[in-house]
Structure 1
Amino acid sequence: MSRIAPLNSFGRSDIATAGGKAANLGELIRAGFPVPDGFVITTAAYEEYLGTHDLRSELACARSGEQARSLFDRPIPEDLADAVRVAYHDLGGGPVAVRSSATAEDLEDASFAGQQDTFLNIEGPEALLDAVRRCWASLWTDRAIAYRSRAGVRDASLAVVVQRLVDADAAGVMFTANPANGRRRETAIDASFGLGEAVVGGEVTPDEMVVAEALVRSRTTADKAVRTVRTASGTATEPIPHGQRRAPVLTDAQAVALAELGRSIEHHFGAPQDIEWTLTDNGFQIVQARPVTALPDEIGPVPTEWPLERSDGMYIRASIVEQLPDPLSPLFADLIRPSVAASLRTVLQRYFKVGVLEPDDMDFPTVNGFAYYFYSNAGMWRLMKASPTAMPVVFTSGSDLNGVTMWRNVGLPAYREVVDRWRDVDPATLTSARLLEGASELVSAGAEYYTFVQALIPQSATAEIAFTKLYEAIVRHPGRPPALTFLLGGESEPIRAERSIYSIAQWCRRYPDVASALAAEHAIPASRRPHFEALLQEHLDRFGHLTYNLDIMQPVAADDPSAIMVALRYAVSGQATDPDERLARLRADRESATAWLWDHVGRVRRASLESMLARAQELGPLREDALADVGLGWPGVRRMLRELGRRFTEAGFIDAPDDVFWLTADEARGASEALDMGRGVGPSARAAVTGRRVQWRGRRQVATPPGWLPAGGLFHRMFRRFMPSNESPQDGDTLKGLGASGGTARGPARLLRGPEDFSTMRPGDVLVAPITTPAYTPFFAMASAVVTDVGGPLSHSSIVAREYGIPAVLGTGSATARIHTGDELTVDGDRGVVLLPTGG
């Protein structure tokens, strides 16, 4: 192996000889890109140096990076030093840049950025030899050793690149895919005056530009206080003259030209590149190019317009939409739209006379992917005129159309019948078309079931509100218990789910080997595993349908119990409160308050309060039970659709089974029919799936979609106060919402946008989420407070937060947009405000 060779003699396959940096630069020179000329002192020279001084054994014994680096003060063997001097002379002498080029550097799966040293403005052969030794030594800094250890790299060697120094007027870094949003068609450029060290080293705030489609799409011109310049002994930072500090480093034309150069380099390497560049009167020069190794998933454009299909009605985000905080997956949007529209017509015709509604008076469309109820203006007027005679039926006790009666006797049994019919069907035995039909039938059954829940919720809410208002009005004794005291301590399905997890935890704690395995997230010991799995399966069979988000693309615990495991580990840790003890305490407080109440009101007032209180205590838990069962059919839906996705994957239609959720219903139907007929599924949907994911991520960046479109008109003025989120713009350090559970708490924010975040929840965190559904209940036991984008005084979040005695501020409209995980928050549930970090 040659010890020294021209830079252009290396290519991308020569990493073992030249290191990642030199291999990539040599590849660029061969391809005709503008790269300063130079030579490479190869890894053979480094290994020769180590061998001459027997440094391998000493490096292995070094107890610190500093001790290891001190070993490189020994002279370079004379014949090798002479070869370096000759190569430097042949390059033309003068100032050079000396760059480390490690074999574990600038790779496709690990950049090792900044782990080894670069020295600029090195002049003279002896200064060059000293810089070479310092480059070799930089392989042994503490940070480089730790980085290699984390990356699993055991052996690394180092080459050194020596290039003519570009005395740059400007320099910077360019990413040919935007690292902020993952967009592959956007180039992000940082630029500052002088040499590039100030930008790479973070010593200066650079200008920032984003270029796409040959245009500068955004530009931030920074106040650039310093720049890196050449000095007699190397480089130094100097202040930039005041008049130049805010001047743009690059014109738009230069930025576009640089981006085009970067795009050509990306095309050559076949992957997005992280590129260091310089600019002189002779144009741009590339001094480093390496693959971008940590790009986020690509995020599409964030919507700014909200186009509507129809102009003769209103689009509203409420009711079931509160459990759909994100843009919908394409398949779910197609399946749920006709199901909700049909079920709405059914329920309204149940309470209103025939003819009040026309077929197109209601719909369940999406706007920018977000679900909305649509009601025509004409239909709303007809419903309002009929309401005085129709709506009392919902509240009439003993009526067959009473909301609770209908839910208990009709809605829930009918839904369970459909779920049970599909539960024991093996998806593998069904045709592809039948799989899609079964999933559609279960989604429709869930949508129809929700109409029965909609009839129960007003009764429950009205009972709580009526008792609270009457109690506040007629019980004026000083020091009276809060009305809420009388309403807590009831059992509901989410509380029963928590009790089930706690019961499994108690079993685990009886066996230290099980408890320690859970704490370390290791496998349960084989001897205990069958019983543990039986307990877990029993829990999932009963509660695995609780949804975090009603979109069927989101996993439920039945097919992904990872969130349950987070709650279980917390319960096993001993930090969790026994739910039975908490309920007992709440019931004792309630009984004590009730005894006080009957001692302080007369017989007439007691009769009124007693009936209202009994009604509120009965209906409160029923509301939670009803909501918890909305997802009864979802495990079956996901089981069938994932089987369908598996078949589509085998046929080459999509890349992975879960990609099925990103197909439209027509695409899934067409591919299913083709498979059943033994034909090919046609052109792959991979590109469409990728594009829809990108679009969905951009839409998900919307802080909170408008609750009412278009925002105006008589109906908007009449009903906007009932909307479940604050739509007023909020800035500053205070976020306002609804104080749904009293008290004040302070703690670090934990943003939970979905199941992918649940494993990060820690005891004492402030739970911040778009909404919370019954499946979130185990995390309330860990939280110090709760903050949501959407939610009202009688939502799941408020009810459960009050049961747990933690503050809750709901319906802020923008919590998930303005709060970041780790922000220190103060949540004041009495005033309904969240204090953000300064500048939050």
Structure 2
Amino acid sequence: MNTTTSSYASVFEAPGPGSWTVDAAHFPRPVSRFQAEIHPQGITKGFLHCARRYGLLIDTLDYRFVNGFAYSTVVPAPEAEIPARFKAAEDVFPKKIWREDLERWDRDVKPASIRTHKELLAVDPLALSEDELIAYIEQCRDNLERMIHQHHSFNLAAILPVGDFMAHVGAWTNAPIGEFLALTRGSAPESAGTFPELDRLAEEIRNSPDARQTLASGKASADILAQLRSASGPLGDATRDYLGVVGDRLLNSLDTGEPSAIEVPDALVARIRMAVEQSAPQAEAVAEADVSRLREKIPTEHRADFDDLLDEVRLVSRLRDERGFYSDVWAGGVMRRALLSAGARLAAEGLIEEAAHLIEASYEEIQALLGRQGGPSGAELAARASYRKGHRVDTAPAELGDPASPPPPMDGLPSHVRRVMTALVTAIQSLGADVQSHRDSAVIRGIGASPGTYSGIARVIDGPDDLGRLERGDVLVTAATTDSFNIVLPLLGAIVTNAGGLLSHAAIVGREYGIPSVVGTRNATAQIADGTRVTVDGTRGEVRIDSP
């Protein structure tokens, strides 16, 4: 990665041989130096782990950052491993091996992750000596590195059954795939922002006149949270439990350089108010009538297979987001908390300008700064932060390196291998489908990801710091959303994103909430002014600008 601020904006070179594609869906803006250093190896190793288990003919995704922007290229499986991959692929669908992964996730992986994050959060960084703080930061970094790997080692369990479902339904009918994917609604409660801890907190507030008064007061949101958290008895316990689950998760990013939920108190308070009023959308199961209506569009001879495929998609739906929630999204927030504490000490000594600027340093630079043994100047770190704040993925080349080649034909592959690869390709293409830009001044077109129509005020959100501006019923217009954003999504009436496809995060949560969503518009944030009234048609994939 380049080390001078000036070169960030002017030079984009492929980080290795092959064709590299920018990842606009997960990283719509440049990431911090710390994240760019730690993230790639976790993705590469995690994907390799599940590629071998599921018999893929690709080895992994080589993932690199160029000037802070994420790029990836596909690495083919080694020739020597092809027989073993063919053998592994034989078991994927007959044994439904994603069920084994989901069981292991629930039984071992998720509980262990929760314990580790809570143990790290039980440490007060402010009470640590300098040496203890350095050691604690290393613990948090090691945890984050493991969690990135963990997240991506469950990639195929989460997306392969969905890709298989989409490939089959696409072959059986010309009806919009988004309508069929909407049949999974209610299968992933946490994707709909539903947490038992929030339900308990809402009930305690309803039962306490003082708490209701606090929540309705005109105080700053941070003060409201502090007052609820410091309350005695069940109210304080419930507040601390809820904030303990969501407060230190990154809010709308996989980058440790972006705010965690507790740093955007307006969004948290708005979500708590909705829960207290019991007016937030709930993750309700799809009506059987809707299932029957769409099932009628499937040829009779394939309906039993359709039912089976849909069952598997519903089973694994929650893993799509949970593997991030309980892995790197939470670990990234824990890491950020530690670095902000260390950064505050350096800022107090005048070594850096702001506590958050420490995250703009590499790990080696962080160690040097904390050891008072050199490192980048405060001005250099501030310049890096300014660069990230001022650039977006639409300013970066979509591709680097060699021109992309079409995928090799799969006709000659064994049927079980062809099915695995078709499911994978379908899923990956649906994570970030490319839609041609349309310059119609009144209508913006994208992919209809969650059916239905909704009219409301557009709120153009550039980053997590803007989330406090969201009001109930707003239409979110943003570059992309990530797993952790679910905390505040119940406020919304509809979702519109620049990036993403039918399996992007925005599409998943739109269907889970049952709110219209249009993704992959490419430039909605540039075409829709904040405060504009718009109509979102999630069935046709269109956004109409109703008023300036």
Which residue of the other structure, out of 43, 59, 65, is the alignment partner of 1:366?
Answer: 65
Equivalent of 1:787 in 468, 480, 496: 496
Q: Deviations over 1:237-264 (max 9, x none)?
A: xxxxxxxxxxxxxxxxxxxxxxxxxxxx
**In the aligned structure 2, how far is the partner of 1:308 from the partner of 1:466?**
32
Which structure features the higher share of helix residues? 2
User: Residues 382 and 744 (structure 1 numbering): CA distance in 2 closer, same or farther, change over 3 Å?
Assistant: farther
Deviation larger for 799-808 or 447-456: 799-808
Does 1:307 pair with 2:13?
yes
**Equivalent runs, 1:171-570 vs 2, <5 Å:** 303=9, 306-310=12-16, 312-318=17-23, 322-348=25-51, 363-375=62-74, 388-391=86-89, 393-397=91-95, 399=97, 403-404=101-102, 407-408=105-106, 412=110, 415-416=113-114, 418-419=116-117, 422-427=120-125, 428=128, 431-462=132-163, 464-465=165-166, 468=169, 483=180, 486-495=183-192, 497=194, 500-501=197-198, 503-522=200-219, 523=223, 529-530=231-232, 531-547=234-250, 548-557=252-261, 561-570=265-274
Distance in 2 between residues matched to 1:827 and 1:598, nearest whole Å: 26
Instruction: Report the Cα distance in structure 1 between the residues aligned to 2:440 and 2:347, rounded to whole angstroms.
Output: 49
Report the counterpart of residue 373 of structure 2 in structure 1: 681
Q: 2:354 aligns with which of 627, 645, 656?
A: 656
CA shift, 1:448, in A, is: 0.8
Which of 714, 735, 742 pairs up with 2:405? 714
The 2-side partners of 1:785 and 1:408 are apart by: 31
* Partner in structure 2 of residue 831 of structure 1: 540
Q: Calculate the aligned-residue CA RMSD, in Å.
A: 4.2
Q: What TM-score does the superposition give when structure 2 sets the normalisation length?
A: 0.78
The Cα offsets for residues 88-138 of structure 1, whole Å up to 9 and x where unpaired, read as xxxxxxxxxxxxxxxxxxxxxxxxxxxxxxxxxxxxxxxxxxxxxxxxxxx
The Cα offsets for residues 406-426 of structure 1, whole Å up to 9 and x where unpaired, read as 645665466456546644444
What does the per-residue CA deviation read over 1:178-228, in whole Å, with 9 as the maximum and x for residues that have no partner? Answer: xxxxxxxxxxxxxxxxxxxxxxxxxxxxxxxxxxxxxxxxxxxxxxxxxxx
Aligned to 1:767: 476
For 1:466 and 1:726, the matched residues in 2 are separated by 18
What code does the residue aligned with 1:685 have?
Answer: S
The 2-side partners of 1:462 and 1:729 are apart by 25
Q: Which residue of 2 aligns with 1:275?
A: none
Q: Provide the secondary structure at the position in 1 that maps to 2:394.
A: coil
Alpha-carbon distance in structure 2 between the residues aligned to 1:684 and 1:624: 36
Fraction of identical pairs, as percent: 24
Q: Cα gap change, 1:715/1:704 in structure 2, threshold over 3 Å: closer, same or farther?
A: farther
1:474-511 CA distance string (max 9 Å, x none): x9xxxxxx645643233422336356435533443444
CA distance in 2 between counterparts of 1:666 and 1:595 reads 58
Please point out which of 589, 607, 612 is paired with 2:309: 612
String of CA shifts for 1:694-724, please: whole Å, max 9, x gaps: 2223323x43644443473314899795561
Counting only pairs closer than 5 Å after superposition, residues 605-644 of structure 1 correspond to structure 2 as: 607-630=304-327, 631-644=329-342
Paired AA for residue 440 in structure 1: R
Structure 1 residues 391, 699: CA separation in 2 closer, same or farther (over 3 Å shift)? farther
* Residue 467 (structure 2) pairs with residue 758 (structure 1): yes
Q: In 2, Cα distance between the equivalents of 1:621 and 1:325?
A: 24
Matched, 1:810 2:515: no
Q: Secondary structure at the match of 1:714?
A: coil
Distance 1:559 1:380, change over 3 A: farther
Q: What is the Cα deviation at residue 334 of structure 1?
A: 1.7
Deviations 1:126-174 (A, max 9, x none): xxxxxxxxxxxxxxxxxxxxxxxxxxxxxxxxxxxxxxxxxxxxxxxxx
Distance, in Å, in 1 between the alignment partners of 2:56 and 2:459 is 49
Count of aligned pairs between the two proteins: 512
Distance apart, 1:766 and its partner CA? 0.9
What's the CA shift for 1:606? 6.2
Q: Distance in 2 between matches of 1:545 and 1:822?
A: 30
**Out of 671, 680, 699, which is 2:391 matched to?**
699
Q: Distance in 1 between matches of 2:182 and 2:289?
A: 10
1:738 counterpart (447, 466, 469):
447
8 Å CA contact 2:478, 2:497 repeated in 1: yes
Letter in 1 for 2:363: A
Which amino acid letter does the alignment assign opposite residue 724 of structure 1? G
Secondary structure of 2:473's aligned partner: coil
- Residues 38-92 of structure 1: CA distance to partner in whole angstroms, max 9, x if unpaired? xxxxxxxxxxxxxxxxxxxxxxxxxxxxxxxxxxxxxxxxxxxxxxxxxxxxxxx
Which structure shows the higher strand fraction? Answer: 1
SS, match of residue 25 in structure 2: helix
Query: 379, 382, 404: which is aligned to 1:690?
Result: 382
Q: Is the 8 A contact 1:739 1:830 kept in 2?
A: yes
Query: Greater relative contact order: 1 or 2 (C-alpha under 8 angstroms, separation 6 or more)?
Result: 2
TM-superposed CA distance for 1:686, in Å, is 0.8
Q: What is the alpha-carbon distance in structure 2 between the residues aligned to residue 698 and residue 515 of structure 1?
A: 40
Contact kept? 1:301, 1:695, Cα under 8 Å? no
Tell me which amino acid in the other structure corresponds to 1:745: Y
Amino acid in structure 2 at the alignment position of 1:567: R
**Structure whose CA Rg is larger:** 1
For the structure 1 residues 465 and 375, does the alpha-carbon distance in structure 2 shift closer, same or farther, using more than 3 Å as the test? closer
Any unmatched runs of 5+ in structure 1?
1-298, 476-481
Cα offset for 1:761?
0.8
1:527-575 superposed Cα distances (whole Å, 9 cap, x missing partner): 9933543222111223335432010122222565442112223444x4x
Q: In structure 2, list runs of 5 or more residues that go unmatched.
A: 410-424
1:331 Cα deviation from its structure 2 partner? 1.5
Question: Match of 1:713, as an amino acid?
Answer: A
Distance in 2, matches of 1:717 and 1:696, equals 37
Query: What is the deviation of 1:740?
Result: 0.5
